[in-house]
Amino acid sequence: MTSKKIFTGITDKTPLSKKIADEIEKAILNKELIVGDKLPSEHELCEQFGVSRTSVREAVKILITQDIVEVKKGHGIFVKSISPENITEGIIKFYRHMLNEEYAMDLIHARQALEPSIAYYAALNRSEEDLKIIEQNIILLKKHNKSPKKSAEFDLKFHDSLAVASRNNLFVFMMRPLHNLIPPIKSKIHKVLKGSTDLALEWHDKIFEAVKDKKPELAKLNMIEHLKIAEKQIKEVYEKKQTTKKE
Protein backbone atom coordinates (compact mmCIF):
# COMPACT_ATOMS: atom_id res chain seq x y z
CA MET A 1 0.00 0.00 0.00
CA THR A 2 1.46 3.37 -1.06
CA SER A 3 1.39 6.10 1.60
CA LYS A 4 0.20 9.62 0.80
CA LYS A 5 2.70 11.84 -0.98
CA ILE A 6 4.31 14.31 1.44
CA PHE A 7 7.44 15.40 -0.42
CA THR A 8 8.16 16.84 -3.88
CA GLY A 9 11.22 16.50 -6.10
CA ILE A 10 14.33 18.53 -5.33
CA THR A 11 15.72 20.66 -8.18
CA ASP A 12 18.85 21.96 -6.42
CA LYS A 13 21.08 18.88 -6.32
CA THR A 14 23.84 20.05 -3.92
CA PRO A 15 24.16 18.29 -1.51
CA LEU A 16 21.16 16.04 -1.94
CA SER A 17 21.37 14.06 1.29
CA LYS A 18 21.40 17.23 3.44
CA LYS A 19 18.48 18.76 1.55
CA ILE A 20 16.44 15.57 1.90
CA ALA A 21 17.20 15.42 5.64
CA ASP A 22 16.20 19.09 5.98
CA GLU A 23 12.89 18.49 4.18
CA ILE A 24 12.04 15.50 6.39
CA GLU A 25 12.98 17.48 9.50
CA LYS A 26 10.79 20.38 8.33
CA ALA A 27 7.85 17.97 7.87
CA ILE A 28 8.36 16.78 11.46
CA LEU A 29 8.58 20.32 12.86
CA ASN A 30 5.44 21.29 10.89
CA LYS A 31 3.72 18.19 12.35
CA GLU A 32 3.06 16.64 8.93
CA LEU A 33 4.87 13.74 10.57
CA ILE A 34 4.44 13.32 14.31
CA VAL A 35 6.20 11.31 17.01
CA GLY A 36 5.76 7.59 16.35
CA ASP A 37 4.89 8.03 12.66
CA LYS A 38 6.59 5.72 10.21
CA LEU A 39 8.44 7.44 7.39
CA PRO A 40 7.60 6.42 3.82
CA SER A 41 9.66 3.47 2.61
CA GLU A 42 13.04 4.00 1.03
CA HIS A 43 11.51 3.35 -2.41
CA GLU A 44 8.70 5.86 -1.80
CA LEU A 45 11.15 8.52 -0.56
CA CYS A 46 13.24 8.02 -3.69
CA GLU A 47 10.14 8.54 -5.84
CA GLN A 48 8.84 11.55 -3.91
CA PHE A 49 12.19 13.37 -3.89
CA GLY A 50 13.24 12.16 -7.33
CA VAL A 51 16.60 10.95 -6.05
CA SER A 52 18.66 7.76 -5.74
CA ARG A 53 18.63 5.27 -2.88
CA THR A 54 22.12 6.39 -1.89
CA SER A 55 20.95 9.98 -1.28
CA VAL A 56 17.97 8.79 0.78
CA ARG A 57 20.14 6.45 2.86
CA GLU A 58 22.65 9.24 3.57
CA ALA A 59 19.78 11.57 4.56
CA VAL A 60 18.41 8.97 6.98
CA LYS A 61 21.90 8.60 8.50
CA ILE A 62 21.97 12.35 9.11
CA LEU A 63 18.57 12.24 10.84
CA ILE A 64 19.61 9.26 12.98
CA THR A 65 22.79 11.09 14.03
CA GLN A 66 20.67 14.11 15.00
CA ASP A 67 18.41 11.77 17.05
CA ILE A 68 15.35 12.83 15.06
CA VAL A 69 14.41 9.38 13.72
CA GLU A 70 15.15 5.81 14.74
CA VAL A 71 15.31 2.54 12.84
CA LYS A 72 13.24 -0.35 14.17
CA LYS A 73 14.69 -3.45 12.56
CA GLY A 74 12.19 -5.18 10.32
CA HIS A 75 9.61 -2.42 10.77
CA GLY A 76 11.01 0.76 9.25
CA ILE A 77 12.11 4.27 10.21
CA PHE A 78 10.09 6.18 12.82
CA VAL A 79 9.95 9.75 14.13
CA LYS A 80 11.48 10.06 17.58
CA SER A 81 10.25 12.23 20.40
CA ILE A 82 12.10 15.56 20.52
CA SER A 83 13.43 16.16 24.03
CA PRO A 84 15.77 18.70 25.64
CA GLU A 85 18.48 16.04 25.44
CA ASN A 86 18.01 15.64 21.65
CA ILE A 87 18.28 19.37 21.12
CA THR A 88 21.01 20.28 23.57
CA GLU A 89 23.50 17.52 22.74
CA GLY A 90 24.34 19.10 19.39
CA ILE A 91 24.49 22.58 20.90
CA ILE A 92 26.91 21.40 23.62
CA LYS A 93 29.22 19.91 20.97
CA PHE A 94 29.04 23.16 18.99
CA TYR A 95 29.85 25.29 22.05
CA ARG A 96 32.82 23.10 22.98
CA HIS A 97 34.13 23.23 19.43
CA MET A 98 33.67 26.97 18.91
CA LEU A 99 34.49 28.44 22.31
CA ASN A 100 37.97 29.43 23.33
CA GLU A 101 39.35 27.29 26.15
CA GLU A 102 39.02 30.25 28.53
CA TYR A 103 35.23 30.62 28.24
CA ALA A 104 34.53 30.73 31.97
CA MET A 105 33.80 34.47 32.18
CA ASP A 106 31.50 34.38 29.14
CA LEU A 107 29.64 31.50 30.73
CA ILE A 108 29.16 33.13 34.14
CA HIS A 109 27.96 36.38 32.54
CA ALA A 110 25.40 34.44 30.48
CA ARG A 111 24.26 32.66 33.62
CA GLN A 112 23.97 35.95 35.50
CA ALA A 113 21.63 37.22 32.78
CA LEU A 114 19.33 34.19 32.92
CA GLU A 115 19.46 32.27 36.20
CA PRO A 116 18.09 34.93 38.59
CA SER A 117 14.90 34.92 36.48
CA ILE A 118 14.88 31.12 36.52
CA ALA A 119 15.06 31.13 40.32
CA TYR A 120 12.24 33.71 40.39
CA TYR A 121 9.91 31.58 38.26
CA ALA A 122 10.93 28.38 40.03
CA ALA A 123 9.68 29.95 43.29
CA LEU A 124 6.40 30.86 41.60
CA ASN A 125 5.75 27.62 39.75
CA ARG A 126 7.53 24.77 41.55
CA SER A 127 5.66 21.63 42.52
CA GLU A 128 6.24 19.43 45.55
CA GLU A 129 7.97 16.93 43.27
CA ASP A 130 10.30 19.70 42.04
CA LEU A 131 11.23 20.51 45.64
CA LYS A 132 12.13 16.87 46.31
CA ILE A 133 14.43 16.79 43.27
CA ILE A 134 16.08 20.14 44.08
CA GLU A 135 16.62 19.11 47.70
CA GLN A 136 17.98 15.69 46.69
CA ASN A 137 20.58 17.37 44.48
CA ILE A 138 21.66 19.54 47.42
CA ILE A 139 21.95 16.44 49.65
CA LEU A 140 24.06 14.64 47.03
CA LEU A 141 26.28 17.70 46.57
CA LYS A 142 26.88 17.80 50.34
CA LYS A 143 27.66 14.09 50.35
CA HIS A 144 30.21 14.38 47.53
CA ASN A 145 31.60 17.85 48.26
CA LYS A 146 35.16 16.51 48.59
CA SER A 147 35.13 15.13 45.04
CA PRO A 148 35.69 17.79 42.34
CA LYS A 149 34.04 15.65 39.67
CA LYS A 150 30.99 14.59 41.70
CA SER A 151 30.43 18.00 43.27
CA ALA A 152 30.49 19.57 39.78
CA GLU A 153 27.95 16.99 38.58
CA PHE A 154 25.45 17.67 41.38
CA ASP A 155 26.01 21.42 41.19
CA LEU A 156 24.91 21.19 37.54
CA LYS A 157 21.89 19.06 38.46
CA PHE A 158 20.80 21.55 41.13
CA HIS A 159 20.71 24.40 38.64
CA ASP A 160 19.05 22.23 35.99
CA SER A 161 16.31 21.21 38.43
CA LEU A 162 15.55 24.90 39.06
CA ALA A 163 15.13 25.47 35.32
CA VAL A 164 12.69 22.54 35.16
CA ALA A 165 10.79 23.91 38.18
CA SER A 166 10.38 27.28 36.43
CA ARG A 167 7.91 25.56 34.07
CA ASN A 168 9.44 27.41 31.13
CA ASN A 169 10.69 24.98 28.49
CA LEU A 170 12.82 27.65 26.85
CA PHE A 171 14.77 28.08 30.08
CA VAL A 172 15.46 24.35 30.09
CA PHE A 173 16.50 24.27 26.42
CA MET A 174 18.69 27.36 26.81
CA MET A 175 20.36 26.41 30.09
CA ARG A 176 21.16 22.73 29.60
CA PRO A 177 23.94 23.38 27.07
CA LEU A 178 25.33 26.13 29.33
CA HIS A 179 25.07 23.96 32.45
CA ASN A 180 26.96 21.17 30.69
CA LEU A 181 29.89 23.54 30.26
CA ILE A 182 30.11 24.10 34.04
CA PRO A 183 31.76 20.87 35.35
CA PRO A 184 35.31 21.47 34.04
CA ILE A 185 35.26 25.02 35.46
CA LYS A 186 33.70 23.91 38.74
CA SER A 187 36.24 21.11 39.15
CA LYS A 188 39.08 23.57 38.58
CA ILE A 189 37.68 26.00 41.18
CA HIS A 190 37.20 23.15 43.67
CA LYS A 191 40.83 22.04 43.27
CA VAL A 192 42.33 25.54 43.56
CA LEU A 193 40.04 27.21 46.13
CA LYS A 194 39.49 25.26 49.33
CA GLY A 195 35.99 25.69 50.75
CA SER A 196 34.47 26.84 47.43
CA THR A 197 31.93 24.01 47.42
CA ASP A 198 30.91 24.77 51.01
CA LEU A 199 30.18 28.36 49.97
CA ALA A 200 28.17 27.18 46.97
CA LEU A 201 26.18 24.87 49.22
CA GLU A 202 25.36 27.73 51.58
CA TRP A 203 23.78 29.68 48.70
CA HIS A 204 22.10 26.61 47.25
CA ASP A 205 20.38 26.19 50.62
CA LYS A 206 19.26 29.84 50.60
CA ILE A 207 17.92 29.59 47.05
CA PHE A 208 16.13 26.35 47.89
CA GLU A 209 14.46 27.83 50.98
CA ALA A 210 13.21 30.83 48.98
CA VAL A 211 11.85 28.53 46.26
CA LYS A 212 10.27 26.28 48.88
CA ASP A 213 8.62 29.27 50.62
CA LYS A 214 7.40 30.65 47.26
CA LYS A 215 9.38 33.90 47.64
CA PRO A 216 10.36 34.73 44.05
CA GLU A 217 12.12 38.03 44.75
CA LEU A 218 14.25 36.47 47.47
CA ALA A 219 15.07 33.47 45.26
CA LYS A 220 16.17 35.90 42.53
CA LEU A 221 18.35 37.95 44.91
CA ASN A 222 19.94 34.83 46.37
CA MET A 223 20.81 33.58 42.88
CA ILE A 224 22.34 36.96 42.01
CA GLU A 225 24.58 36.76 45.09
CA HIS A 226 25.46 33.12 44.42
CA LEU A 227 26.61 33.94 40.87
CA LYS A 228 28.51 37.04 42.00
CA ILE A 229 30.55 34.80 44.30
CA ALA A 230 31.04 32.32 41.44
CA GLU A 231 32.37 35.14 39.25
CA LYS A 232 34.86 36.20 41.96
CA GLN A 233 36.03 32.59 42.29
CA ILE A 234 36.55 32.27 38.53
CA LYS A 235 38.58 35.50 38.46
CA GLU A 236 40.72 34.30 41.36
CA VAL A 237 41.39 30.90 39.79
CA TYR A 238 42.33 32.34 36.40
CA GLU A 239 44.48 35.08 37.95
CA LYS A 240 46.41 32.34 39.78
CA LYS A 241 46.74 30.44 36.52
CA GLN A 242 48.18 33.50 34.74
CA THR A 243 50.60 34.15 37.62
CA THR A 244 51.80 30.54 37.48
CA LYS A 245 52.37 30.81 33.72
CA LYS A 246 54.52 33.93 34.15
CA GLU A 247 56.61 32.22 36.80
Mean pLDDT, residues 221-235 taken together: 94
pLDDT over 90 at 81, yes or no: no
Average pLDDT of every residue of the chain: 86
In a 3-state reduction of DSSP, which class is residue 34? coil
Q: What letter represents residue 245's amino acid?
A: K
Confidence of residue 188 (pLDDT cuts 50, 70, 90): confident
CA distance 23 to 8: 9
Summarize pLDDT for 121-144 with one digit per residue, the tens: 999 999 999 999 999 999 999 998
Superfamily of domain 85-246: GntR ligand-binding domain-like (1.20.120.530)
182, 155 in Cβ contact below 8 A? yes
Residue 90: phi, psi to the nearest 5? -65, -40
Domain boundaries, the chain: 16-79, 85-246
The residues pairing with 118 across neighbouring beta strands, listed in sequence order, are none
pLDDT over 80 at 46, yes or no: yes
Question: Which is more confident, 66 or 13?
Answer: 66
Q: What pLDDT score was predicted for residue 16?
A: 87
Q: CB-hemisphere CA count at 13 Å for 37?
A: 16
Q: Look at the pTM and tell me if it is higher than 0.75.
A: no
CA distance 7 to 32: 10
Q: What pLDDT score was predicted for residue 91?
A: 59
Question: Which is more confident, 216 or 102?
Answer: 216
Confidence of residue 185 (pLDDT cuts 50, 70, 90): confident
Would the CA dihedral through 231, 234, 238, 241 be positive or negative? positive
Q: What pLDDT score was predicted for residue 55?
A: 93
pLDDT over 80 at 4, yes or no: no
Question: If we measure between CA atoms, which residue out of 166, 143, 168 comes closest to residue 154?
Answer: 143
Q: What pLDDT score was predicted for residue 30?
A: 85
Q: What pLDDT score was predicted for residue 79?
A: 92
Q: CATH second-level architecture of 16-79?
A: Orthogonal Bundle (1.10)
Q: What pLDDT score was predicted for residue 241?
A: 63
pLDDT over 70 at 1, yes or no: no
Confidence of residue 86 (pLDDT cuts 50, 70, 90): low
